Structures are given as structure tokens and as C-alpha cells.
């Protein structure tokens, strides 16, 4: 029979719209306006999952975001979404839902044997049981725990949907659209303030949705808000965090309620909202009572049963019992009775109350001074055991298939607490309420303990108006408020009914009251320690229904008041947020930007193999037909440079113009060597230290004019060097008249290197005599290249005669083509980063692998560059004994004794059986074939000429290497000066 | 997430800025010894309360700004340029 628990009328579901869905493969019907949980209950489905640790049967426990139990998988394939709360998942036609965390069928789970093992699976069992032997952890314990413990399954496939980020600013943000929130938004909106009203539910109204008599006011309020141009309504939007300076984070579920998002529509939207003033109207969460068997399917929060009856027109069962500690919960019994459910008993530890009297008048059996001592049933509740308060043991059983529980109401103080407000204990409500605000926020309604729809609405209206006034708006005339009596929410203090059997304080994480006491006995008595030891309140529900109950059990064990024990710190997220929403659009190719040089298209046309250099794309090498492998290409390119001529795109180097009357003084202070003595039209290699004396960066700096320098940096440090210069100019030497401009993107540059470089350059450049006499090593001059303004540098990184031509980036391609044409008769080859690396290792030039943030100038053989006179960054601290210790690892050259045996960067250098350094860079030589490298070796110079071992324990390699001078190739620099 | 009023660009999000630490330490002059430079580089007060600190408007005008921020509440009370002095309340 379809939907046999559905009422013929009433509530906010559209019975004319029938939606089909499946649960564990079985087909059911529901209605538009249902959540999955409501539709399951309408069809009499009670068992919806298995618990985390003991695999106990679990049912639907709540009717909202606080749901600890009914976590299911939605959809299938790439859109499969685990651990979704059935109580907030909107039903749509064709929804496929699956239960989680069981082996075998849901009704008979083999892992339920864990329940029998319970004495070994108590609190802290991960820490204790799986400690020994340590080698078992990765191979045995972890896979076993993962298999046994996880809840849902991720799809394992790329998410086909897209997510987006949005930012909003407003005068007043109202969180929650119950009576208090609606009234707050109306009152604030009436002043003309820009208001955002965010509500996690797909319907606005909160508890108003359970009150048919107040429907007119709810609809009036929504209509009034929709008519205000400055008010934005955000339903399906969960505000999950309250951060500094009025920043709140929210996720809007744009298309979760549809089978799949419409074209060009995001699945979810991640909001960053900046509000001048915030009104928190987040309501309250009903809390459980810990008693044996309080997790059995059929046990649910009293307010949830009431919501299913009134909002969804669904009876939660045939026969219900109510276990309540305060009058406010009694409306659930009346709601279910109206829906046709038999009320078997009302169990209340109190002696008498107004609600109890009304219940008796209505003909209900009321058991004052009583508590529920246990539940009867298997996968579904069949009965409730009742005993006198404090009697212990098992009492009389009353048949019931629904037990409605209400231990009181916890104001939803999560966001208030995150904003910095210290919580205070309300002795009447036995709950924490927000204290004084520390940001521009105020709580209104049930989330600050003002209960009842009429009172909450009035509180909300006042808060909304106050917020708007605080944001600078003039108060507007009062809005109409709903009239409704306020039920008494003050509970009898009852946290736990002690007895035999598991009494859960955290149903999702399978944490019992006994686990909390165990944590206390074992020394984890602070609430934060007990939380981590037991996993109490660490699930997706963050302890919304049982967190305070666990704290109360701990308080009793500590013999201290709950107020003193407190709650664990509230942190974002108040509710689960999908990774997709957090990642937003920054996925795949959009994860980070790509930087391409002005010559990117040219390299692509040449068939370059790309290499990532930070976010730059650089050609690694250019394969040609006939190259046996990548090494063949790299060596061919390097050989061209050594023997003829090559051209390489060096546009990624950082370029900074330093200008001003004090430019030379500034450079003298930021570089370890001197620039004030540099002649105009000349370049000089510069070494930059950090203030702690470690080498920071190197590069060539040119003096373009008396007060104008052109600094180059390594590709990797271009940004950090710029910042370093800006910082010191601002903080240390604001008196220096210097300005800085990054021109990395404006100038493209290419290196033309090799014995034939001069012929090629002479053919491309006009207006400049490039003979060795007129344009010697380290000369720099402006010129024309293919008729466009360019700058020529005679500098070399390869150890060959070499030039760099820099030109405005837009002209780079035409100059490159001219260089290739001019070089063709000489056998020119474009070369990539790999050949560049090969050449500099052969020559013994240091690069990023040697400037690794651990090396000093002395370590790199550059100690003589440190000037003796004048201040510079790093000067003083580079003189510390540990920095100048001669036994520090020093730069050496290395050559594999057997030319065929490869050495790798990262190898340890072993001397007399001990690691004395490492290989920083390795390659194959084209000058003297074989494997060569650079390394840092303790007492490096003393080992030159000797054979040591390069060891790579990861690959089981031990390769004999000869220690040589790093500058073996053309040590006199005759080639670069030719 | 902080909001920092840049004197050149207006109120901007924290993500546009780079934090550079305590702005009350000053680099020793040319005569500073190892001890002075050690203190400049490594010693920080780490106050619970107001602190004047460097923030560079990296994604904007690139100016290094002095920002008076409360390390507990993250309130940003005052912003100044590098050559101005910010008074720490109660100091
Ligand atoms: Zn700025």
C-alpha cells in the first residue's frame, strides 16, 4: 500500500504532485514538498541505516539539519553523494537513495556482531587496541578499520557538476527564517536597509510551518519581504560559519533538489557575506535523553514527530509514547493524536504541570514521576519500558512503535559562539545561551532562549530594527506580529536514565554515557579531551541533539555543574559542506593560472615538450625525428650550443627596474656585492642574501643610466625578490629616493649562445658594433633588432660566447624567427630548459637546486663576492660561526666513475660510510660523455680528486663518483670572452 | 577574513594583502652587531592585544602599510603608511 502513513490533508506538501523514488532499490511514492525522510516515513520505512561502530539498526531521528542517524547515499554514478541527511534532502522525481554502512542487507548486517564485541570497542579503542605491533598499523589495522568504520562511499569519479563562489554585502544579515527571522528581516527591511535573509530550509517559516493557524502571517511576511527591493531571500542556504569583522560563510544548494542542475547552473553556490549587522535567528535544537536503547528505530525527537504530522501530513507511527521533561514537548502528543496516532503513554519525570493536566483532560495516559528505562524491539521499536524516577532496573512495558523524546531545548548558539560571544548558562532552560556580543551581532528568538512563536517574533522584530538602526537607518513603524501562546520550555533536569544497555549521548558516533565516564576515569576529563577520546559530538551533526547530554554526564562524573564543564568549542562548519562548494570554480585547469611567455606559440609550433616552472610553461626540449629518446634531444640541443649556436627563451626571468637618485646606494645595500661602481652600459652578476645570511637569489644587474638599473632575478624568486626590495625600501630605508617597477611581462628575452652567436646577433641587430672590442663580455646597449627597439646584453649562463636580446614582448616572435633564419647557415638549434640545465651544470653555475635556502655564499664558492665595506642585508648574520664553519657542505663537481652509471639529484654522498652531503643537480655531459653533477659535500675541497659513493637507498643504488672542481669546463672563461 | 582600509585603494579584503609581521621592530643601522640583528630578525613580542604590523597591499597598490590590529578580536583599528607612527592603545 502506497504512503499508508500519509494523512489525507494538511501540511505543506502538494498531494497533486506524485514523485517516484527508490530506497535500496525498492520503489516508493512521495509528494512535492517532502524531504526524503518524510516520504520514507509516509511509506512506513523505519530502518534507514546502520550505526558507525556497532552497526546497530537506526531510523529517522529528527526532521532537520540536526539529524544524527538517517545518513544515506543519494543518486548514483558520478553524482553519488554519501552521508546526506534524509531529513533535509528534498524529494525529487526519480531520486535513488541507498542506505549505508552495512554488509549484507540493511535488515541483517553481519557487522552487527560488533555490538557483541562492545566491551572491546568502547571509547578510545582505536588508541588502545590497535597500538601493537606497530608494523601492523598500515598493513592490517588501518585497512580493517577503514573497511569496517566508514559510512558512505564517495563516487570515486570526477564531479560532473560545477560550483560557484559569490560575494555579498549587506546592512543586515538575518540567519534563519522562523518567526524571529521573518520578523527581524521585515523590521530591518522596513527601514530601507539592505537585508539578506538566509534560511537552510527550502521553505521559509521554521516552526510556523507546524502552525496552520499562523499560516496567514507567514505568507504575509514572505509577501512583504518579496516586495522590498533591498531584501534578498536566500532559501536552501546554510550559514555555516561566523568569522571576523562581520564575515559569514554560507552555502546555497541551488540545484540539489533537482535530478541534475539545469544547463549553465551551478549545483551549489558558496557565499561570502559581509554584513554590517547580523541578526541570528537560528532557533533551537531539541535534545535527547540518554536511556538504554534510545537509538532504536522508532525513537525520535518529539518535535520531529510533530513536524512530520503537521508540516508533511505524515504519521510517524500507529502508537506513540512521549517521554518529555517540559510542557513545550506536549504539543507533539496532540499533533500525533490529531493525525490519528494512538497515544499510549506520556512519561514525565515531573509530578504535575499544566500540560500534563491538559493531556489527562484529552484522555491520554500520563505517567508522572516516571522515566523510560528501556526500549523493546529489533529493527523497529515495539514497546517502551517505564519505571519510576530513580528506581533503576527495568519497568513495565507499554506497546508503542514511536517513542517521542524531549529532554529540553538547546538554543542554536553555534554562530553566536563563533562570532566571539562567550556563552552563559541559563539555569531555567538548562542550556547555554549567547552572552554579550563581541561583534556587530545579536541573537533573537529561540536561539537566545526566547521561546514561543509570538515571543520569538516580537524579539526578532526588535532585533531587526535595532540592527538596522545600528547600520545607520532610521527606525520604521512597527510591523504586525503573530499572536500565539508561549509553551513552557523550562525542563526538569534529567540527562540520563541509568540502566542496563547502551544509552547513547552521541547516536551518530555510537558514544554512550558509559564511554564518557570511561574517558573521565582515564584522565580525559576536560570536555575537549573527552570529545576527542570518545569522538563525542564529532560527527556530521556536531552533537546538536546530544552534545550537551554528554557534557552533563561528564559533569556528573566530575561532580561539577554542567555550566562549568561547558561545551567543546564551536567551529565552522555548523553543517556539512560539500568539498565541491569549497573548491568552487578552482578545479582542474582552473586550479591555478598558467603563465605563458610571449614565445609560447612559437615553441608550440616547434613541438616543444612542456615543463612547469612555477606556474610558467617553459619548453623542456624540442624533440626531432631521429632522436632516440628525450636525452638524445637534450644532448643534441646542448651540443649545438657547445659547437655552433643555440637560442633559448629566457623571458621568465624576473625583471625589475630600479630607478632614482639613490638607486645605486639601495642596490649596494640589498646585494652582497657592489653596484655603485658599475659603469653605465655594463652588467654585473649579483648575489642577494637574506638577512640571516643565507643566499636568497642571484642574477645579472645592468646599469642603464646613472640613476637607473635593470635587475634580473631567477624565475622562481621573481615575486619574492620584488617583495623583499619593496619591504626594505618601506621599512628599513624610507629615506632612500628609489622607485621599483616589475617589467617581467613587458620584456621578452632570448639567449643566443655558442661559438657562432656573434654572427647570428650581427645579422639580426642594427645600430651596434658587436665586435669583441666594441662590445666585450658584460657589455649592454640599446639597439634595433629586426628594426624594433631592443636591448642587447653580452652575458652567458652556458659557458659559451653568448648574448641575451630583450625586446618588448609583442615583438618577441618576429625577433625569434629572425634569429633562427640568421642562424640557419650555422646550424642553430632552439634549446629548452633541460639543455640549459645541462650546460650550466657542465660550467658549474649554481641554480635553484643549489640556492635552496640552506646555503651560504661560502658554501657555493661565492664567499669572495661579499663586500668588505658598507652595510648590506645579511652581512652581519652571515658572519656567525655556524655560517662560516669551514666544514659546512661546499659546492663540488661530481663525475660518475663509470660513464654509463647514472647519478641522480638527491643522492647521499658517502665518505667513509657516512653521509657527508648530497647531489643537488645531475645530468649527462656532452663535452666529456658520462654522468656529471653538482653537489654539496662537507670539506668538499679536501676531497677533490678522490672517489666517493653516491647512494640512493630508495632505488638501491651505490655509484662510485669522482669529486672534481665544479668549474672544470673552460675554467679561464676564454670561451665567454672570445 | 579581515578587511583592511588601504589609504590608497579603499577597504579591501585580506586576500589582497600579504602579512609581514611586527612593524615595531626596526633594522639596526650599519653599526649593529650580531646581537642586534638577531633580535631584529628573530625576537617578537607576540602580544595578546593590539599590535602594529606590516601588511603589503600585494594585489593592489603594493604599498607596505602599518596596520593596528587586535590579535584576539582581529579588529583593525587604524592603518598608516610606512613613515607614519601608530600608537598602540594602552601601551
Ligand atoms: Zn592599496
Q: Is residue A639 pLDDT above 70, yes or no?
A: yes
Q: Does B77 touch chain A (CB under 8 A)?
A: no
Q: Is residue A975 pLDDT above 50, yes or no?
A: yes
Substitution target in A273, A572, A876, A882 with the highest count of B β-carbons within 10 Å is: A876
Q: How far is the CA of A441 from the centre of ligand 1 (A)?
A: 29
- The answer to whether the Cβ–Cβ distance between B62 and A726 falls below 8 Å is yes
Closest residue in B to A724 (Cα–Cα): B20
Predicted structure pTM score: 0.88
Looking at residues A765-779, what average pLDDT do you find? 97
Looking at residues A310-330, what average pLDDT do you find? 98
pLDDT digits (tens, 9 = 90+) for B5-21: 999 999 999 999 999 99
Of A244, A730, A871, the CB nearest to B30: A871
3-state secondary structure labels for all residues of A397-425: EEECCEEEEECCEEECCHHHHHCCCCEEE
Which residues, including other chains, have CB under 8 Å from residue A677's CB and lie 6 or more apart?
none
Q: Does B85 touch chain A (CB under 8 A)?
A: no
Closest residue in B to A437 (Cα–Cα): B73
* Cα–Cα distance, A802 to A836 (Å, whole number): 13
On the 0-12 / 13-18 / 19+ scale of CB atoms within 10 A, A532 is middle
More confident residue, B87 or A600: A600
pLDDT digits (tens, 9 = 90+) for A239-254: 999 998 899 999 999 9
Closest residue in A to B82 (Cα–Cα): A730
Q: Does B54 touch chain A (CB under 8 A)?
A: yes
Secondary structure letter of residue A75 according to DSSP: S
Looking at residues B53-58, what average pLDDT do you find? 97
Model confidence at A117, in pLDDT bands (50, 70, 90)? low
Angle, helices A527-534/A513-521, rounded to nearest 10 degrees: 120
- The ipTM of this complex is 0.98
Q: Is residue A1 pLDDT above 50, yes or no?
A: no
Model confidence at A119, in pLDDT bands (50, 70, 90)? low
**Dihedral angle sign, alpha carbons of residues A290, A292, A295, A299:** negative
Q: Is residue B90 pLDDT above 80, yes or no?
A: no
- The answer to whether the Cβ–Cβ distance between A870 and B30 falls below 8 Å is yes
Q: Does A870 touch chain B (CB under 8 A)?
A: yes
Closest residue in B to A722 (Cα–Cα): B62
Distance between A13 CA and the closest CA of chain B, angstroms: 40
Provide the β-strand partners of residue A894.
A933, A963
Closest residue in A to B33 (Cα–Cα): A876
Q: Does A483 touch chain B (CB under 8 A)?
A: no
Looking at residues B56-77, what average pLDDT do you find? 94
Mean pLDDT score of chain A: 94
Q: How many CB atoms lie within 10 A of CB A136?
A: 13
Q: Does A274 touch chain B (CB under 8 A)?
A: yes
Looking at residues A778-796, what average pLDDT do you find? 97
Looking at residues A704-733, what average pLDDT do you find? 97
Model confidence at A529, in pLDDT bands (50, 70, 90)? very high
Looking at residues A569-588, what average pLDDT do you find? 93
Q: How far is the CA of A922 from the centre of ligand 1 (A)?
A: 44
- The answer to whether the Cβ–Cβ distance between B1 and A726 falls below 8 Å is no
A279-316: burial string, b at 16+ Cβ within 10 Å, e else: bbbbbbbbbbbbbbbbbbbbbbbbbbbbbbbbbbbbbb
Distance between B66 CA and the closest CA of chain A, angstroms: 10
pLDDT digits (tens, 9 = 90+) for A31-60: 999 999 999 999 999 999 988 888 899 999
Q: How far is the CA of A448 from the centre of ligand 1 (A)?
A: 41
Looking at residues B67-80, what average pLDDT do you find? 93
The whole-number pLDDT of residue A53 equals: 83
Q: How many CB atoms lie within 10 A of CB A49?
A: 29
The whole-number pLDDT of residue A231 equals: 98
Q: How far is the CA of A446 from the centre of ligand 1 (A)?
A: 43
Chain A residues closer than 8 Å to B3 by CB: 245, 247, 274
Model confidence at A140, in pLDDT bands (50, 70, 90)? low
- Looking at 3.10.20.600, 3.30.2270.10, 3.60.20.40, 1.10.510.10, the CATH number of the domain B3-81 comes to 3.30.2270.10
A866-886: burial string, b at 16+ Cβ within 10 Å, e else: beeeebbbbbbbbeeeebeee
Looking at residues A218-229, what average pLDDT do you find? 98
The whole-number pLDDT of residue A153 equals: 82
Residues in chain B, total: 91
Model confidence at A148, in pLDDT bands (50, 70, 90)? low
Of A87-96, A129-138, A328-337, A762-771, the one with minimum mean pLDDT is A129-138
Q: Is residue A121 pLDDT above 70, yes or no?
A: no
Chain B residues closer than 8 Å to A696 by CB: none
Secondary structure letter of residue A464 according to DSSP: H
Looking at residues A307-324, what average pLDDT do you find? 98
The stretches of A846-903 forming alpha helices (DSSP H) are 881-884
Give the phi and the psi of residue A193 in degrees, each rounded to 5.
-65, 155
Looking at residues A644-667, what average pLDDT do you find? 98
- The answer to whether the Cβ–Cβ distance between B1 and A245 falls below 8 Å is yes
* Cα–Cα distance, A127 to A523 (Å, whole number): 14
Q: Which three cell numbers stand for residue A859?
A: 658554501
Distance between A419 CA and the closest CA of chain B, angstroms: 9
- The answer to whether the Cβ–Cβ distance between B20 and A727 falls below 8 Å is yes
Distance between A468 CA and the closest CA of chain B, angstroms: 21
Looking at residues A465-476, what average pLDDT do you find? 97
Q: Which residue in this structure is represented by grid cell 491538559?
A: A358
- The answer to whether the Cβ–Cβ distance between B34 and A880 falls below 8 Å is yes
Closest residue in A to B57 (Cα–Cα): A723
Amino acid at each position: 500500500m502506497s504512503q499508508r502513513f500519509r494523512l489525507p490533508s494538511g501540511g505543506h506538501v502538494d498531494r497533486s504532485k506524485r514523485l517516484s523514488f527508490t530506497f535500496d532499490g525498492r520503489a516508493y511514492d512521495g509528494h512535492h514538498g517532502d524531504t526524503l525522510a518524510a516520504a520514507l516515513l509516509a511509506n512506513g520505512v523505519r530502518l534507514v541505516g546502520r550505526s558507525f561502530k556497532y552497526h546497530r539498526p537506526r531510523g529517522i531521528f529528527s526532521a532537520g539539519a540536526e539529524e544524527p542517524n538517517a545518513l544515506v547515499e543519494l543518486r548514483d554514478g558520478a553524482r553519488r553523494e554519501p552521508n546526506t541527511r534524509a531529513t533535509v534532502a528534498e524529494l525529487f522525481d526519480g531520486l535513488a537513495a541507498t542506505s549505508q554502512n552495512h554488509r549484507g542487507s540493511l535488515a541483517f548486517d553481519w557487522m552487527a556482531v560488533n555490538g557483541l564485541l562492545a566491551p572491546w570497542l568502547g571509547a578510545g579503542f582505536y588508541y588502545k587496541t590497535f597500538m601493537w605491533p606497530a608494523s601492523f598499523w598500515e598493513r592490517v589495522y588501518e585497512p580493517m578499520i577503514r573497511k569496517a568504520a566508514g559510512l558512505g562511499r564517495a563516487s570515486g569519479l570526477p564531479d560532473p557538476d560545477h560550483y560557484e563562489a559569490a560575494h555579498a554585502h549587506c546592512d543586515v544579515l538575518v540567519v534563519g527564517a522562523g518567526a524571529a527571522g521573518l520578523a527581524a528581516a521585515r523590521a530591518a527591511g522596513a527601514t530601507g536597509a539592505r537585508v539578506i535573509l538566509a534560511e537552510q530550509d527550502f521553505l521559509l517559516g521554521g516552526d510556523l510551518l507546524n502552525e496552520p493557524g499562523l499560516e496567514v502571517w507567514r505568507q504575509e511576511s514572505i509577501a512583504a519581504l518579496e516586495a522590498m527591493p533591498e531584501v534578498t531571500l536566500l532559501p536552501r542556504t546554510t550559514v555555516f560559519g561566523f568569522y571576523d569583522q562581520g564575515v559569514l560563510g554560507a552555502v546555497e544548494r541551488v540545484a540539489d533538489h533537482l535530478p541534475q542542475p539545469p544547463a549553465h547552473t551551478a549545483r551549489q553556490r558558496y557565499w561570502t557575506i559581509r554584513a554590517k549587522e547580523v541578526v541570528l535567528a537560528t532557533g533551537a535544537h531539541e535534545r535527547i535523553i540518554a536511556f538504554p536503547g534510545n537509538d532504536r528505530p522508532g525513537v525520535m525527537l518529539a518535535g520531529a514527530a510533530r513536524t512530520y504530522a503537521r508540516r508533511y501530513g505524515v504519521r510517524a507511527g500507529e502508537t506513540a509514547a512521549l517521554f518529555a521533561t517540559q510542557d513545550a514537548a506536549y504539543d507533539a502528543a496532540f499533533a500525533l493524536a490529531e493525525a490519528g496516532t494512538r497515544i499510549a503513554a506520556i512519561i514525565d519525570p515531573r509530578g504535575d504541570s499544566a500540560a500534563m493536566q491538559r493531556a489527562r483532560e484529552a484522555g491520554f495516559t500520563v505517567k508522572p514521576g516516571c522515566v523510560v528505562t528501556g526500549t523493546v524491539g529489533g529493527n523497529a521499536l515495539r514497546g517502551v519500558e517505564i519505571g519510576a524516577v530513580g528506581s533503576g532496573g527495568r519497568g513495565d512495558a507499554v506497546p508503542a512503535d514511536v517513542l517521542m523524546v524531549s529532554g529540553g531545548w538547546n538554543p542554536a548558539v553555534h554562530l553566536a559562539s563563533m562570532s566571539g560571544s562567550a556563552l552563559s548558562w541559563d539555569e531555567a532552560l538548562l542550556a547555554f545561551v549567547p552572552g554579550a556580543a563581541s561583534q556587530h551581532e545579536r541573537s533573537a528568538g529561540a536561539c537566545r532562549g526566547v521561546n514561543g512563536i509570538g515571543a520569538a517574533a516580537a524579539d526578532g522584530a526588535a532585533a531587526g530594527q535595532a540592527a538596522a538602526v545600528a547600520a545607520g537607518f532610521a527606525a520604521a513603524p512597527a510591523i504586525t506580529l503573530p499572536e500565539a501562546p508561549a509553551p513552557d520550555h523550562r525542563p526538569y533536569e534529567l540527562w540520563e536514565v541509568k540502566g542496563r544497555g547502551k544509552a547513547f549521548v552521541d547516536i551518530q558516533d555510537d558514544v554512550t554515557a558509559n564511554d564518557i565516564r570511561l574517558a573521565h576515569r582515564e584522565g580525559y576529563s576536560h570536555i575537549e579531551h573527552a570529545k576527542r577520546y570518545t569522538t563525542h559530538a564529532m560527527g556530521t551533526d556536531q552533537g546538536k541533539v546530544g552534545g550537551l547530554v554528554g557534557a552533563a554526564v561528564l559533569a556528573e562524573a566530575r561532580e561539577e555543574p554542567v555550566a562549568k564543564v561547558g561545551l567543546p568549542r564551536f567551529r565552522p562548519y555548523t553543517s556539512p559542506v560539500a568539498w565541491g562548494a569549497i573548491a568552487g570554480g578552482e578545479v582542474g585547469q582552473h586550479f591555478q593560472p598558467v603563465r605563458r611567455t610571449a614565445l609560447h606559440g612559437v615553441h608550440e609550433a616547434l613541438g616543444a615538450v612542456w615543463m612547469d616552472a612555477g606556474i610558467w610553461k617553459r619548453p623542456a626540449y624540442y624533440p626531432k625525428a631521429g632522436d632516440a629518446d628525450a636525452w638524445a634531444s637534450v644532448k643534441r640541443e646542448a651540443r649545438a650550443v657547445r659547437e655552433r649556436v643555440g637560442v633559448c627563451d629566457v623571458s621568465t626571468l624576473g625583471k625589475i627596474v630600479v630607478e632614482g637618485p639613490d638607486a645605486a646606494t639601495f642596490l649596494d645595500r640589498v646585494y652582497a656585492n657592489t653596484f655603485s661602481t658599475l659603469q653605465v652600459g655594463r652588467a654585473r652578476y649579483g648575489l642577494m642574501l637574506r638577512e640571516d645570511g643565507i643566499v636568497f637569489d642571484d642574477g645579472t644587474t645592468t646599469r642603464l643610466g646613472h640613476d637607473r638599473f635593470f635587475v634580473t632575478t631567477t624565475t622562481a624568486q621573481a615575486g619574492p625578490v620584488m617583495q623583499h626590495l619593496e619591504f626594505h625600501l618601506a621599512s628599513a630605508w624610507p629615506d632612500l629616493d628609489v622607485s621599483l617597477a616589475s617589467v617581467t611581462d613587458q620584456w621578452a628575452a632570448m639567449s643566443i649562445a655558442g661559438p657562432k652567436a656573434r654572427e647570428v646577433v650581427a645579422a639580426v641587430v642594427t645600430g651596434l658594433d658587436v665586435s669583441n672590442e666594441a662590445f666585450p663580455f658584460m657589455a649592454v646597449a640599446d639597439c634595433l633588432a629586426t628594426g624594433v627597439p631592443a636591448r642587447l646584453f653580452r652575458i652567458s649562463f652556458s659557458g659559451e660566447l653568448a648574448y641575451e636580446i630583450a625586446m618588448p614582448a609583442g615583438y618577441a616572435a618576429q625577433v625569434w624567427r629572425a634569429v633562427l633564419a640568421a642562424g640557419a647557415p650555422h646550424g642553430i638549434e632552439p634549446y629548452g630548459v633541460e639543455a640549459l640545465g645541462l650546460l650550466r651544470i657542465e660550467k658549474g653555475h649554481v641554480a635553484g637546486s643549489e640556492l635552496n635556502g640552506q646555503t651560504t655564499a661560502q658554501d657555493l664558492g661565492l664567499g669572495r663576492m661579499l663586500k668588505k665595506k658598507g652595510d648590506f642585508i645579511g652581512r652581519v648574520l652571515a658572519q656567525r660561526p655556524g655560517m662560516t664553519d669551514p666544514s659546512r657542505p661546499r659546492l663540488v663537481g661530481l663525475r660518475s666513475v663509470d660513464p654509463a652509471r647514472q647519478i641522480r639529484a638527491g643522492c647521499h654522498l658517502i665518505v667513509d660510510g657516512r653521509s657527508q652531503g648530497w647531489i643537488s643537480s645531475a645530468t649527462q655531459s656532452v663535452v666529456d660523455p658520462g654522468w656529471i653533477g653538482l653537489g654539496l659535500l662537507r670539506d668538499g675541497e679536501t676531497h677533490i680528486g678522490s672517489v666517493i659513493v653516491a647512494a640512493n637507498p630508495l632505488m638501491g643504488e651505490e655509484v662510485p663518483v669522482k669529486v672534481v672542481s665544479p668549474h672544470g669546463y673552460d675554467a679561464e672563461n676564454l670561451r665567454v670572452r672570445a | 577574513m579581515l578587511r583592511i582600509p588601504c589609504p590608497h585603494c579603499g577597504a579591501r579584503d585580506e586576500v589582497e594583502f600579504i602579512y609581514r609581521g611586527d612593524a615595531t621592530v626596526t633594522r639596526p643601522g650599519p653599526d649593529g652587531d650580531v646581537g642586534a640583528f638577531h633580535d631584529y630578525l628573530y625576537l617578537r613580542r607576540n602580544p595578546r592585544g593590539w599590535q602594529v604590523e606590516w601588511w603589503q597591499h600585494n594585489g593592489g597598490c603594493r604599498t607596505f602599510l602599518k596596520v593596528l590590529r587586535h590579535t584576539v578580536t582581529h579588529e583593525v583599528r587604524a592603518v598608516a603608511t610606512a613613515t607614519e607612527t601608530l600608537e598602540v592603545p594602552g601601551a
